[in-house]
Amino acid sequence: MNNAAAQDAQIAQARFVGTGDAETTKYQWLSNQHRDTYASLIGHPNLLSYMAVAENESLARCRLNLLEKMVQPCGPPPPAEDA
Amino acid sequence: MHLYHVTLQPPTHINQVVLGKFSGTKVQEMVLARSSRLELIRPDPDSGKLLTVLTHDVFGTIRSLAAIRLTGSSKDYIIVGSDSGRLVILEYNPGANRFDRVIMETFGKTGIRRTVPGQYLAADPRGRVLMVAAPEKHKFVYMLTRDANSVLAISSPIEAHKAHTLVFDCVALDMGFENPVFACLEVDYGEAEDRPDEPVDKVLTYYELDLGLNHVVRKWSDTVDRDANLLVPLPGRALVDAVPEGPSGVLVCSKNYITYRHQDVPAHRVPIPQRTPTKEDRGVLIVAAAVYKSKGTFFVMLQSEVGDLYKLTVDYEGDQVTDLCIQYFDTVPTAVGLCILDNGCLFVASEFGNHMLYQFEQLGDNDDVPQYHSSKSDESDPLAPTVLEPRELTNLAPIDEMESLAPLLDTTILNLANEDTPQVYALCGRGAQSSFKVLRHGLEINEIAVSALPGHPQAIWSTKLTATDPYDSYIVVSFTDATLVLAIGETVEEVTDSGLLTNKPTLVVQQIGPNALVQVHPQGYRLIQADKRVSEWRPPAHQVVTHAVANERQLVLGLSSGEVVYFELDATGQLAEFDRTTEFGEDITALSLALAPPGQQRTPFLAVGLADSTVRIISLEPHNCLDALAMQALSDVPSSLCLVEMADRETDPHLTTLYLYTGLRNGVLIRTSVDHVSGQLAETRTRFLGSQPVQLCRVVTNGVPAVLALSSRPWLSYVYQSRTRLAPLAYEALVYAGAFRSEPCAEGLVAIADDTLRILNVERLGTPLNQAAVPLQCTPRRTIHHPVHNQFVVYETDHLPDGTPGSATNPAWTSCLRIINPLSGETSWMHQFDPDEAAFGMGLVIFSSEATEPASPLILVGAARGFSQTTQKSLAAFIYAFRFNADGTTLELLHKTEVDEIPRVIIPFQGRALVGMGPLLRIYDLGKRKMLRKCQSRAIPNSIVTLQAVGSRIIIGDLQESIHFALYRPQENRIAVFADDTLPRWITATHLLDYNTVAGGDRFGNLFVLRLPTEISQKIDNDATGNLLYHEKGYLQGAANKLTPLAHFYVGDTITSLQRATLVVGGREVLVYTTLLGAIGALIPLTSKADVDFFQTLETHLRSEAPPLCGRDHITYRSTYVPVKAVIDGDLCEQFALLATSAKDGIAEDLDRTPGEIAKKIEDMRTMYAF
């Protein structure tokens, strides 16, 4: 890989949350996917309402639950593998 | 194929509301965000009801709103956080009645993304800075200033980013004129990943903008309750030496507690009174809050998620809080936003159901409900026994209600009431606010008074006595041989000293000149001065006056000889006859004059309708008086005429268009524009109104003239937000009507119907559909119409968040099935399912195995017991079979069959039932004791949500994997999928357009049309062996054949139902969709290539000439998920009317048409197919 491409990748990783690299684990990737999804559900009024009607909860509680899930969407991280 | 998209009813829910003085006057207004629409409303100063002043589609999802007022200014600006990746500041322009964009600043990518700001907005109360934040990491602070021309300007963004930080809420503190501070509720998930064993803290962080250094610092941060969700900033002091209006700081709302926090001062904590104690981990959540400041004191109104309002007061000394006191206030619908207005009103923007406006009757000071104080609460017993009894409204009184359909879950469009147009039968609402609604196209009418009249009245007028009177004094009713004069006061009473002749019928009554009244009867006219002096005029011998028309300065009489006599007011206040009459040689059937323009002697034109089916424009100018200027040939004899100046060019309110409305004897209404100078007629629009001859009356709506057209149904042609609309009134047929101005009702109508006098008022001009609601018990899910007995079967299912699946004592589900008569709204039968059982699907099936005559349909209901939403598993699933009784008013349970998966969709299929249950597709037949399984397919990947059948073909909608085409082969008794889609679509509704074409809608708000290529369709149908079906090699990990997309369009809201319907008399079928948030729209198929080219070019022009207000690019918005294809956005085309004249002319030139022709073409698309 040339230098410029590596630099671009570094810039992307610094600027955009969730940009992966060779070291990204499955857990990190999946957590990012979930966080993106939850953020989209919170931001679209129709999707939040859809969920609120299904669960019969208030919009505020649905939003809070989704935000709370964004903290650790896939549970605690797996123990680090010893090299 | 090309489709034209129009919105019939915009979304009715509100997702954001903000209070401010946006007009720059003392009147408080509210700006609402209804997903992609901005709406400005204000309480009417007279009636207190809410008036919609302006709505504007911004073609983007609005996520947050804030109001900001610069120091020293009296006008609030509107800050909009949307999906455009831009900060937009709007200003309301009251003169032109539009939103003007003042600032647009790009800060990120478009779309609703995790790290692109727009989700939260906070504006400094002193109007100096604002913060815009994303759910994660990114926060920008902008400083607001005025430039040299005192135009609003903003600084470059100052970053306050913090990686791995989730933001739960973001508010601006009231710091007076010290450095602005923003408070954020944050969680650092990076810590959670680094130290998995430790609990994650939620922190309250203060971000201070140092105005001297232009730099944001994290000033203070402290741990708060882990479940905190909302911040409420409290007022502070304006200046260092001023008396503080409040202690500043924030209230942190968490489950069960309200905590006051501020830097360097002790916290105060008070429990939230709650109803019966909830499950431990649930607690009571505060969902909305409003702070009301007045004369140095303030209180906070908080609302819990069940709708209970609490009043919270704060005691403080200097900057130190000494006590928080909370008490239960009242219970109103759960809100997304609360606004307390200066006039003592509370606006509740409900999350679901109707939005309410309440009046504060009292502030709860004399209430005997317990109060809870932070100074007295005991930390050792944190959950104080704060039991609350919900009660009827005590402190609040409802004043007005804004109807909302959200959530709109299912609809059926049918004409069951045998009206001109079909009705929409809709399932709306959630939980206790659920209802079955009947929507009809028509403006809502408020009946103010009805009083009986003697005999058969023919006509009615309401008139004032002098030119300066604000309100009307007399109502004049004409009978075949007499006239009745009624005086308007506290009550309406007959008067005899009016000077009007009562022994003759009246042709017209008009206030004329400064203070005279003219009455025209068949034997002449009578001019009554204020001092009761009377002057009269009689027609030549053997002639009678047959028609008459008058305005404030002119009078025209039509005689039985076919002559027209013209009078004009002279300087002495008398009517001077023009020395020449004109004769047409035909009977006059109608006359009309426009109102005299203010400050001018006369209106220059007279319209005359003649029995030879023509209408003529006659000049009234002195130099060519009574010369014919223009003529229009008609299809029938005109029965009524109305010349009216319509203010339909709102870009400049002083520019009006003169229109000639012609009502024909055959029930057709024609509208033609009249040139102000030459009197030439142009731009004719025709509309069929009903079977009766059309009678036209000039009325007033929203302060501008409108025309009431009476046929077999009353219609109103009015201008609303620069668009001329023609809508029926939701009222019975009227004989005659006129405008009525009185103190309580400034824009009323006085009308005759059924030999009675009615005083009416048109409400909610912006709402084209009026509704009648039948309350239901819990959230309705689906409805089925029984075509023979005209009954609707509805099932309702609610999840109970407090319950436990599988528990009999504390069930997680409640569900019922009922039969509703759509016309009477009565429930004739109801079945409550067992606790913890929930209905998830329903179908009406006629089994061919039953040889009954006539065939008796069965209702099959798919239900589950102990369904868990987290695992999506149930303890058991069933199919209930119910049979209708003879008259279709009740159902009888036949049997209940246990099945493997939850049946979510059931349709009739070749005399048996086709059931979609999870990934299984099965055919069931009816047995004596249970349903009998006949055939099964496992070809669907996730879960079947929709089914359509045509012949042996089955069209299956999957929860995630779009549409599948399958074929049932009775020879092998096998179902096989032979075609599917290439895109994953989360189907919510489908509708079959023809044998090979299906329209669908998905959860994310996309509408699409897919088609099976004809050659594949024929190949499959002609394949006798079934080899093509069973043994063709799959393609792209799916079926062997793929569907081709024909059209795609992003609506921006979850589609809940799709169907074809004919919405106007004589119109063609359109595809009608409804959405979760209460919008109804239609896709109109375009038939000619010329139309497609025209609208595509127009759309392209509008995208560049009228880019969406909030900075979202129109084409990218409509292509949010998939590029828009073959659908023209009529909503954008209709914004043509809002353009400035020069822009209109430019577009018109490019399209080789006049602006009027373009406007007519846009209008025609609506009137021909929809409303």
Closest residue on chain A to B114 (Cα) = A39
Contact B946/B987 with Cβ under 8 angstroms?
A: yes
Return the structure tokens found at B616: 């003529």
Tokens of B947: 């089914």
Tell whether B197 is covered by a domain: yes
Residue A66 falls inside a structural domain: yes
Output the furthest CA–CA distance in chain A (Å, rounded).
54
Tell if the CB–CB gap between B83 and A43 is shorter than 8 Å.
yes
Sequence letter at residue B678: S
Lowest-confidence region among A1-5, B309-313, B710-714, B899-903: A1-5
Q: How far is B995 from chain A (nearest CA, A)?
A: 31
Q: How far is A71 from chain B (nearest CA, A)?
A: 5
Q: Which residues of B touch A35 (CB under 8 A)?
A: 114, 136
Q: Which residue range(s) make up the domain with B155?
A: 12-224
pLDDT bracket for residue B623 (50, 70, 90): confident
Is the confidence at residue B581, as pLDDT, over 80?
no
- Chain A interface, Cβ < 8 Å to B: 16-18, 35-36, 39-40, 42-47, 49-50, 52-61, 63-64, 67, 70-72, 76-77
Give the chain A residue whose CA is nearest to the CA of B33: A45
Q: What is the pLDDT of residue B377?
A: 58
CB contact under 8 A, A17 and B1053: no
Q: Chain B partners of A16 at a C-beta cutoff of 8 Å? A: 115
Note whether B848 and B823 are same-domain residues: yes
Residue A81 burial by Cβ neighbours in a 10 Å radius (0-12, 13-18, 19+): exposed
Whether B174 and B209 share a structural domain = yes
Mean pLDDT along residues B829-847: 94
Cβ B506 vs Cβ B500: under 8 Å: yes
Q: Is the dihedral of CA B1108, B1111, B1112, B1114 positive or negative?
A: positive
Contact A58 B285 (CB under 8 A): yes
State residue B379's pLDDT score. Answer: 56
pLDDT at B383: 55
Taking an 8 Å cut-off on Cβ atoms, the answer to whether A44 and B1004 are in contact is yes
Q: Are B353 and B404 in contact (CB under 8 A)?
A: yes
Q: Which residue of A has its CA nearest to B168?
A: A67
User: Is 70 exceeded by the pLDDT of residue B291?
Assistant: yes
Are B244 and B347 found together in one domain?
yes
- Residue indicated by tokens 């019939």: B8
Same domain, B244 and B266: yes
pLDDT at B1068 exceeding the cut of 60: yes
CATH number, domain of B179, equals 2.130.10.10
Per the CB < 8 A criterion, the answer to whether B411 and B1073 are in contact is no
Residue B57 and residue B206 in one domain: yes
| pLDDT of B34 over the 80 cut | yes
Nearest CA in chain B to A80: B194
In a domain, residue B680? The reply is: no
Convert the pLDDT of each residue in B100-126 to its tens digit.
999 999 999 999 999 999 999 999 999
Q: Is residue A48 part of a domain?
A: yes
Q: How far apart are CA B1105 and CA B239, in angstroms?
A: 46
B406, B798, B1054 member nearest A56 (Cβ): B798
pLDDT value of position A83? 47
Kindly indicate the confidence band of residue B779, based on its pLDDT and cuts at 50, 70 and 90: very high
Segment B971-1018, tens digit of pLDDT: 999 999 999 999 999 999 999 999 999 999 999 999 999 999 999 999
Whether B561 is in a domain gets the answer: no
B734 inside domain: no
Q: How many CA atoms lie within 13 A of B903 on its CB side?
A: 27
Q: Which residues in chain B touch residue A50, judged by CB atoms under 8 angstroms apart?
A: 1003, 1054, 1076
Query: What does DSSP say about strands B308-317 and B297-304: parallel, antiparallel, or unpaired?
Result: antiparallel
Distance of CA B1146 to the CA centre of its chain: 32
Instruction: Name the helix (H) or strand (E) containing B20.
Output: strand B16-20
Write out the residue range of the structural domain in which residue A42 sits. 25-70
Q: What is the mean pLDDT of chain B?
A: 90
Is A31 inside a domain boundary?
yes
Kindly report the length of chain B: 1171
For residues B995 and B530, give the distance between their C-alpha atoms in angstroms, rounded to a whole number: 75
Residues of B in contact with A49 (CB under 8 A): 13, 351-352, 406-407, 1054, 1076-1077
Q: Tell whether the model's pLDDT for residue B855 goes beyond 80.
A: no
Same domain, B208 and B242: no
Alpha helices in B486-535 (DSSP H): none
Q: Assign B732 a pLDDT band (cuts: 50, 70, 90).
A: confident
Q: ipTM of the predicted structure?
A: 0.95
Query: Rounded to an integer, what distance in angstroms lies between the CA atom of residue B805 and that of residue B710?
Result: 58
Q: What is B586-604 written as a DSSP string?
A: S-EEEEEEPPPPTTSS--S
Which of B112, B187, B254 is best to mutate for the A interface (most A CBs within 10 A)?
B112
Given B938, B973, B992, the domain boundary residue is: B938
Contacting residues of B for A40, CB less than 8 Å apart: 112-114
pLDDT above 90 as % of chain B: 63
Alpha helices in B364-512 (DSSP H): none
Chain B closest CA to A23's CA: distance in Å?
A: 16
Residue B1100 three-state SS = helix
Q: Please enumerate in sequence order all residues whose Cβ is within 8 A of that of B634, keeping only pairs 6 or more positions apart, or say none.
A: B613, B614, B615, B662, B664, B670
Q: Specify if A15 maps to a domain.
A: no
Selected residues 895-954 of chain B with any CB under 8 Å from a CB in chain A? none
- Across A10-14, B869-873, B897-901, the highest mean pLDDT is recorded for B897-901
Of B166, B305, B336, the CB nearest to A67: B166
Helix (H, G, I), strand (E, B) or coil at B1088: coil
Q: For residue B1143, what pLDDT is reported?
A: 92
Residues B281 and B193 in one domain: no
Query: In this complex, how many residue pairs, one in chain A and one in chain B, have their CB atoms less than 8 Å apart?
Result: 128
B911 Cα to chain A: minimum distance (Å): 33
Contact status of B165 with chain A (Cβ, < 8 Å):
no
In angstroms, the CA B1156 to CA B315 distance is 64
- Does pLDDT of A17 surpass 70? yes
Domain boundary among B916, B938, B960: B938
Put simply, whether B1052 touches A (Cβ < 8 Å) is: yes
Average pLDDT over residues B720-739: 86
Tell me whether the omega of the peptide bond preceding residue B970 falls within 30 degrees of 0, making it cis: no
Q: What is the CATH number of the domain that holds B1159?
A: 1.10.150.910
For chain B, what is the domain count? 5
B375-389, B444-458, B713-727, B1082-1096: least confidently modelled range: B375-389
B944 shares a domain with B933: no
How far apart are the C-alpha atoms of B971 and B1029, rounded to whole Å?
Answer: 13
- Beta-carbon contacts of residue B1083 (< 8 Å; ≥ 6 apart): B3, B4, B5, B999, B1007, B1047, B1049, B1070, B1071, B1073, B1127
Give me the residue from B112, B189, B431 closest to A72, CB to CB: B189
Nearest to B114 among A17, A49, A71 (CB): A17
Task: For B35-163, list the strands marked E by DSSP.
Answer: 37-43, 50-57, 62-68, 77-82, 86-93, 98-106, 120-123, 129-133, 139-146, 152-154, 158-159
Taking alpha carbons only, the member of B947, B1063, B1051 closest to residue B1004 is B1051
Q: Could you give the CA distance from residue B704 to residue B720 in angstroms, rounded to a whole number?
A: 10
Residue with tokens 């993304």: B113
Claim to verify: residue B894 and residue B1033 sit in the same structural domain: no
pLDDT value of position B279: 66
Query: Counting beta carbons within 10 angstroms of the beta carbon of residue B75, is it exposed (0 to 12), middle (13 to 18) or buried (19 or more)?
Result: middle
Give the range among B213-227, B731-745, B1062-1076 with minimum mean pLDDT: B731-745
Residue-wise pLDDT for B961-983, tens only, equals 999 999 999 999 999 999 999 99
> Domain check: are B150 and B21 in the same one?
yes
How far is B424 from B226, CA to CA, in rounded Å?
A: 46
Whether B1039 and B1124 share a structural domain? no
Residue type, B437: K
Q: Which residues of chain A neighbour B166 with C-beta distances below 8 Å?
A: 67, 70-71
Give B391 to chain A, closest Cα distance, Å: 21
H or E element in which residue A27 lies = helix A26-43
Please give the span between the terminal C-alpha atoms of chain B, in angstroms, as a whole number. Answer: 22
Residue B925 and residue B1030 in one domain? no
Is residue B229 in a domain?
Answer: no
Whether residue B761 contacts residue B747, with contact meaning beta carbons closer than 8 Å, is answered with yes
| A44 found inside a domain | yes
Answer whether residue B297 is part of any domain.
Answer: yes
pLDDT recorded at residue B278: 63
Q: Which residue in A40, A63, A71 is closest to B187 by CB distance?
A: A71
Number of C-beta neighbours around residue B582 at 10 A: 18
- Cα B627 to its chain centre, rounded Å, is 49
Domains contained in chain A, number: 1
